[in-house]
Amino acid sequence: MKKHLSVAIFIICVMTSGCTFLEGDHSRNKGPGEFVDLSEPDRVKNIRTLQFEREQVFEDSLLLDRIPDITIDDEGTLYLAGEKWNHRHIHHFSAIGTYRGILSDRQKNGPEFDQISSLHFRNDQLWILDSANETITRYGPDEETDLDYIALDSLLSEELTAGQPNNALDLHPLGVDRNGRLLFAFHEERNPAYQPDGQMHIALLSISDGVGPKILFQEKAERYIVGVYAGKPAPFTLPIAEKPFIEFTDTGKIVSAHSTDFSIRIFSTDGAPLRTYRYPLQRVDFQPEEDLLPEYTHNRQLHMVRESAKYPDHWPALYDMFVDDEENIWISTVQVDRDVSEWFVIDDIEKSVAARFHWPVDKPFRAVKGGKAYTIEQNSSGFEVVVRYDVAGLVD
């Protein structure tokens, strides 16, 4: 209870700005550390040519409508979060593609998974993060032992809402590192119809020993576009959303970006700013009459909502970002031809661009480990599957 109370006090202090133990400025403009311009000649002189050879498809007639995330253990076992008919399960395959079955569809003594936001394999343990349920589930090495079920909402909500009716919080677990530290985001609940823009705090908490939490910085939350229907505001998001990307590296550093800008911030394991990578990417013009409205001619209500909205002048700069097992940062950028993305691979050791290449948008990379790249693709029946590629050229 002591640990739970300390977390609650921490959040209350942040939301009311009434405590003094929170040090420093936690805005996104907190000192960036070293500034690295990836367009400089020295940063692009060793760009490599990557070759991808398709070698394994993981499917086994699962008929999955969506695969939100995957992770791979040190033996090449693939774990994937699969959604089918509004049910969510964790499936796993051997490295050679043999289906091993469903690991779980719920937390021990808890609810079914509602929105599996990410999977992480750390120290022979599988971590399942559910942002809708605000929960974390940890499985042991035998893949059958549910070691931990942590319901963040039940730990915090009761203390927070008592006497704080206006400070209800949304909590979003983001990642777990090898030392058992949880990276999470939180912000006050907002109605996107009236608050389409927002900020969220990024914080760090040690699950193993209860140390923390510590606020690291702020980041822009996902942005909504607001149209009007029957005189009332109707919020929605664009097909390429304006949203943040925040990840742990294998060594516990933190990588943060926002889709609206090619600006990648690196923080130390303690949250101190190390460097910011920037690249002068020209954002693509957004023209709703051509890019969006034709997709909704089949539905008059949806078309009217989108027709009435005010839009940004440009598409976001980035589709996605993730970090591989060698701490290379993979970034997918939005192009004029939105069937194809240009990927940048940033070597965070050499502080340079290791590779640039074009790749189909409908086959996005989700992980790279052990010289293998894993994508989410659709099979001939339109269901999502995981495909593994051998990657040549990334490592000497």
Asked if residue 40 is part of any domain, the answer here is: yes
In the prediction, which pLDDT does 239 show?
A: 95
> Are 318 and 331 within 8 A, CB to CB?
yes
Task: Calculate helix-pair angle for 2-16, 152-161, nearest 10 degrees.
Answer: 60
Please name which of 247, 224, 375, 242 lies closest in space to residue 309, comparing C-alpha atoms: 224
CA–CA distance from 157 to each of 60, 168, 200, 286 (Å)?
41, 8, 17, 40
Domain CATH code at residue 294: 2.120.10.30
CB atoms within 10 A of CB 293: 14
Strands 34-37 and 273-278: parallel
Task: Give domain status of residue 24, yes or no.
Answer: no
The closest of 214, 158, 159 to 182, measured between CA atoms, is 214
Instruction: Starting at the earlier edge strand, list the strands of the sheet with 146-151.
Output: 116-122, 125-130, 135-139, 146-151
In a domain, 34, yes or no: yes
pLDDT of 205 reads 81
The per-residue pLDDT for 170 is 84
Alpha-carbon distances, residue 320 vs 174, 305, 317, 341 (angstroms): 15, 27, 9, 10
**Within-domain flag for 224:** yes
Structure tokens at 78: 């693939």
- Which of 79, 152, 151 is CA-nearest to residue 122? 79
Q: Which helix (H) or strand (E) holds 356?
A: strand 352-360
What token pair was written down for 157? 């909500």
Q: What is the C-alpha to C-alpha distance for residues 84 and 78, in angstroms, rounded to an integer?
A: 18
| Residue 336 falls inside a structural domain | yes
Q: pTM surpassing 0.85?
A: yes
DSSP for 91-159 reads: EEE-TTS-EEEEEESB-TTSPBPS-EEEEEEETTEEEEEETTTTEEEEE-TTS--EEEEEEHHHHHHHH
User: Quick check: is 186 in a domain?
Assistant: yes
Mapped onto helix, strand or coil, the DSSP state of residue 243 is: coil
Residues 155, 181: contact at Cβ < 8 Å?
no
**Run means of pLDDT, 10 residues per run, the chain, 396 residues:** 43 44 42 87 93 95 94 95 90 94 66 86 89 83 62 51 53 88 88 95 78 82 96 96 94 95 95 95 96 95 96 97 96 96 96 97 97 96 97 84
Structural domain range at position 325: 2-19+30-392
Q: Are 219 and 200 in contact (CB under 8 A)?
A: yes
DSSP-assigned letter for residue 283: P
Domain count, the chain: 1
